[in-house]
């Protein structure tokens, strides 16, 4: 755990585009690719089931739908990243342009926030 010695928190620092971002988890990193790939494979199986064919018949179609699903998942992931970056930059720019609306926040320690407690036994 990293403890900061700063006495104030700058609200702009949460949206600063130059600050390092924490690494996303493995699931968060590949969620859209994995779910859309499985969805593409499932759509191919559903297509065969509706047409009253064996579910795994036509493997090239399964491969094509799976690849299309992976591509769609990659596109969705990149779209969400780009949209989030644009939104964060908009917020950061607004905070830089209107500093009077976003004053520095004084850090508080738990000892100052919590009431004194004595256990009763």
Helix axes of 59-97 and 26-50: crossing angle, nearest 10 degrees: 140
How far is residue 21's CA from residue 118's CA, in Å, rounded to a whole number?
A: 41
- For 43-81, the DSSP string reads HHHHHHHHTTS-TT--HHHHHHHHHHHHHHHHHHHHHHH
The predicted model scores a pTM of 0.76
Helices (H) and strands (E) in the chain, counts: 3, 2
In this prediction, residue 1 carries a pLDDT of 47
pLDDT, tens digit, 9 for 90 and up, residues 13-49: 888 888 888 888 888 899 999 999 999 999 999 999 9
Highest mean pLDDT among 2-6, 63-67, 104-108: 63-67
């Amino acid at each position: 755990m990293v403890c900061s010695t700063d006495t104030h928190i700058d609200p702009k620092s949460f949206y600063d585009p130059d600050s390092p971002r924490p690494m996303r988890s493995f699931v968060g990193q590949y969620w859209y690719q994995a779910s859309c790939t499985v969805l593409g494979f499932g759509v191919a199986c559903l297509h065969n089931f509706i047409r009253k064919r064996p579910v795994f018949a036509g493997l090239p179609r399964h491969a094509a739908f799976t690849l299309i699903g992976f591509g769609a998942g990659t596109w969705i992931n990149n779209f969400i990243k780009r949209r989030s970056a644009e939104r964060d930059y908009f917020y950061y720019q607004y905070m830089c342009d209107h500093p009077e609306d976003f004053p520095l926040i004084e850090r508080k320690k738990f000892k100052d926030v919590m009431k004194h407690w004595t256990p009763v036994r």
